[in-house]
Amino acid sequence: MIAFRLWISSVLLTILAIWIFLLSVQNSLFGIAAMIAVYIAITASGASLPVFILYLIMLPLIRKAALDNKQKTICLLILNIILSFGYAFLVGPVLYWPLRDHNNEHSFFYAFIFLAFISSLSVLINLKQIYQYYSFTHSNQSIMYTSNDNPTPPSAGNNRILYKAIVTGVLILVMMIPMIFVSNLVQEREARRKEVEKDVSEKWAAPQTVSGPYLYVPYIKQVKDVNGKPSEIVGDFFILPEQLSITGNIDTEERRRSIYKVLLYKTQVAGTGSFQLQIPKGINADEIQWKDIKLCVGISDFKGIEKEIKVNFKDNQLSLLPGLPSSDIDSNGLSVNIALSASDLGTSIPFTTTLALRGSAQLHFMPLAGNSQFNLRSKWLSPSFDGNTIPTSRKVDKTGFFANWSFNKANLPFNTLVTDAKTINASLAFGVSLLQPGDQYAQTDRCSKYAILLIGLSFALFFIMEIMQNKPVHPVQYVLVGLALIIFYTLLLSISEIASFDLAYFVAASATILLITVYVHSHFQQAKTAAYFTVLLSLLYGFIFILLRLEDTALLVGSIGLFIILAIVMYASRRINWYQPVTTTTVTA
């Protein structure tokens, strides 16, 4: 009956927790969540039957062990933790579905914490019945005798330190549950910021990708079919510049929407180059539709065009109009008819153009030329050179950045005469992304990864102080300190949205350290102990801040720091008597 109570309690608690989770995280309707809960009930009942069978086997063994009731209950909790660890391998992948829009890299850890908490709560709910089950055995135990025939009752020793250590470890795991909600909060706030950035960018202009200019050349070829009847083949090809030089200057500006800042830019792009007019083999000059040849420029977002785009081609000033004759290279762009004839074949035709564009966050180019140079300059201090190709040369200093890209016919997958546009794709784009320095959401999320280190060491410090000063700390007090450590992350997140991350970290850490210091002093009534907590917490928060600032050496420094911390804990606890003396009573005949 005890095995059944433990098993059914765990199943019901699991169903209730998952149902509430679906209502809160997935915003599901009540009826849909209820249907899912019924499905989970059937699945959980069947999948957890081995646990019920294991309870039937292990509970009598635990009851017969020469332990007191508390020790037997701890054995039962350890059994539940082991089972939770095993089932986490099965439940972890299932958590991928409700967490697919969130951080699901730690689904196994979430599953383990969830199952361990549910199974432990099931034991606490049935604790009275479990003790009655144990007491039935104690009332029938035979009296043990020593070698001198003096009856000795069962040992009544209670290893208080061991129990408290286990409870402290469970509390550390339990405090990881609120950290899940903190991580979700960080992701929700980051998603909100991205929504604001997207909304402002859509009204201003999206990230821009510029390609061209290039020539679109249509032709109609006269052929005969198998029956000798004449027919026409309509086709086209593209001519890319033989030489191209692009120079751009990016001016940035920030627009504020509520508490968020959106980075926008304006750019002036000047292009010069020349076309070498040629036609593919198998096509005659008289088959070219000369009057329909167009000069094209690809621009990803028309909203960003600030001024009329003009091209000086063969000493003619031409204005480009929206629309492309073909979407083989670009889906959006502008074009204009140009005056060419067969007499231009083999000649070099120069051109110049200027573009005044708006955009947000990113400016990319397509290297559509035989030999090309791209030069970008800006006063923005935080560029990220991304895309298919890194700059040939670059310079980033306190005045801004300058970058240069160079291409030639040998390192491009196409020629200046393009008959198959499939060789040109968007993956060839390159350029610069304008980063906002100190992304508070990324840094807060990274900081939250060290929560178990912060909470674990803080609880370990409490535990050691409790033993050394022989002044018990109640589990509720541990929970309060843990909540203070968790609220640090919400303070960090909220303050960093309106101030710099460094200032937010200092304010949040100072407030948390001050709160815990006052609380410790009120409990232990010793200024020296409170000072120890202040110094150690300050060093711990400082250590985490250093890890946040490091990139390549974060793992090395973190490992060395953890080794030093462990050494300090081992040194401080070297004289602690971890075993309490066991009192025995001798009954004389």
Average pLDDT estimate for 535-562 = 79
Q: Would the pLDDT of 14 be above 90?
A: no
The rounded distance, in Å, linking the Cα atoms of 458 and 464 is 10
- The whole model's pTM is what? 0.61
Higher pLDDT, 323 or 70: 323
Residues linked to residue 208 through DSSP beta bridges, in sequence order: 363
pLDDT over 60 (residue 259): yes
Q: Each residue of 377-424: pLDDT tens digit? A: 999 888 888 888 889 999 988 888 999 999 988 888 888 888 888 778
Picking from 170-179, 389-398, 400-409, 492-501, which range would have the lowest pLDDT averaged per residue?
Answer: 170-179
What does the alpha-carbon distance between residue 383 and residue 403 come to, in Å, rounded to a whole number? 10
C-alpha distance from residue 313 to each of 102, 177, 195, 318, 339 (Å) = 52, 67, 42, 7, 9
Residue range 438-448: mean pLDDT, rounded: 79
Average pLDDT over residues 43-72: 75
With beta carbons less than 8 A apart as the criterion, state whether 83 and 51 touch.
yes
For the ranges 59-73, 147-161, 406-420, 533-547, which has the lowest average pLDDT?
A: 147-161
Q: How far apart are CA 414 and CA 256, in angstroms?
A: 44
According to the model, what pLDDT value does residue 143 have? 38
Residue type for position 374? F
**Distance of alpha carbon 319 from the chain centroid:** 46
Q: Which two tokens stand for residue 214?
A: 């290039």
Do 244 and 373 contact (CB within 8 A), yes or no? yes
Q: How many Cβ atoms are within 10 Å of 470's Cβ, its own excluded? A: 6
pLDDT score at 334: 92
The CB-side HSE value for 343 (13 A sphere, CA atoms) comes to 1
What is the pLDDT at residue 137?
43
* Model pLDDT for residues 278-292, shown as the tens digit of each residue: 888 888 888 889 899
DSSP state of 344: G
Distance between CA atoms of residues 503 and 49, nearest Å = 53
Place 37 in a pLDDT band, splitting at 50, 70 and 90: low
State how far the Cα of 309 lies from the Cα of 353, in Å rounded to an integer: 8
Q: What is the DSSP string of 178-197?
A: HHHHHHHHHHHHHHHHHHHH
Instruction: Kindly report, residue by residue over 424-436, the tens digit of the pLDDT.
Output: 887 889 999 988 7
Tokens of 288: 């070219």
Angle among Cα 547, 552, 556 to the nearest 5 degrees reads 60
User: What is the pLDDT at residue 577?
Assistant: 67
**Tokens read off for 212:** 């061209």
Confidence of residue 294 (pLDDT cuts 50, 70, 90): very high
pLDDT reported for residue 43: 63
- High-pLDDT (> 90) share of the chain, %: 14
Supply the pLDDT for residue 438.
60
* Contact (CB, 8 A) for 584 and 152: yes
Helices (H) and strands (E) in the chain, counts: 14, 19
- Give the span between the Cα atoms of 408 and 373, in whole angstroms: 9
Residues 252/401, Cβ–Cβ less than 8 Å: no
Count how many Cα atoms sit within 13 Å of the Cα of residue 429 in the half-sphere of its side chain: 20
Check residue 98 and give its pLDDT.
46
Asked if 311 and 213 count as a contact pair (C-beta separation under 8 A), the reply is: yes
Rounded-to-integer distance, Cα 368 and Cα 322, Å: 20
Distances (CA, A) of 244 to 145, 363, 391, 428, 508: 101, 18, 16, 16, 53
Give the Cα separation of 571 and 573 in Å (integer). 6
Highest mean pLDDT among 255-269, 374-388, 563-577: 374-388
Residue in 277, 272, 322, 273 with CA at minimum distance from that of residue 297: 322
Please, which pLDDT band fits residue 477 given cuts at 50, 70 and 90?
confident
What is the assigned CATH class of domain 205-437? mainly beta
Residue 402, beta-bridge partner list: 377, 395
Contact yes or no for 558/566 (Cβ under 8 A): no
pLDDT score of 26 more than 70: no
Percent of all residues in the chain with a pLDDT value above 70, rounded to a whole number: 82
Helix axes 107-125, 176-204, angle to 10 degrees: 140
Dist CA 31 CA 567 (whole Å): 55
Mean pLDDT of the chain: 78
Q: What is the DSSP string of 10-62?
A: HHHHHHHHHHHHHHHHS---HHHHHHHHHHHHHHHHHHTHHHHHHHHHHHHHH
Place of tokens 């007090």: 477
Three state DSSP letters for 306-332: CCCCEEEECCEEEECEECCCCCCCCCC
Q: Are 210 and 336 in contact (CB under 8 A)?
A: no
Residue that wins the pLDDT comparison between 550 and 504: 504
Residue 270: Cβ within 10 Å count: 14
| The pLDDT of residue 284 | 86
* CA separation for the pair 380, 399 (Å, rounded): 8
Q: Torsion over CA of 564, 568, 570 and 571, rounded to 10 degrees?
A: 130
Least reliable range by pLDDT among 83-87, 168-172, 380-384, 409-413: 83-87
Q: Report residue 551's pLDDT band, with 50, 70 and 90 as the boundaries.
A: low
Residue-level pLDDT at 54: 77
CA distances from 495 to 207, 286, 504, 514, 542 (A): 29, 71, 5, 17, 18
395-399, 449-453, 564-568 — which is least confidently predicted?
A: 564-568
Query: Residue ranges of the domains in the chain?
Result: 1-158, 205-437, 438-581
Full 3-state SS string of 88-132: HHHHHHHCCCCCCCCCCCCHHHHHHHHHHHHHHHHHHHCHHHHHH
Lowest mean pLDDT among 107-111, 260-264, 455-459: 107-111
Map tokens 């286990």 to a residue: 166
What is the separation, in whole angstroms, between the first and last Cα of the chain? 41
Residue 206: the pLDDT is 86
Weakest mean pLDDT among 14-23, 171-180, 299-308, 549-558: 14-23
Q: How confident is the model over 343-381, as pLDDT tens digits?
A: 888 888 999 999 999 988 889 999 999 899 999 999 988
Question: Between residues 44 and 298, which one has the greater pLDDT?
Answer: 298
Residues 146/152, Cβ–Cβ less than 8 Å: yes
**DSSP annotation of 500:** -
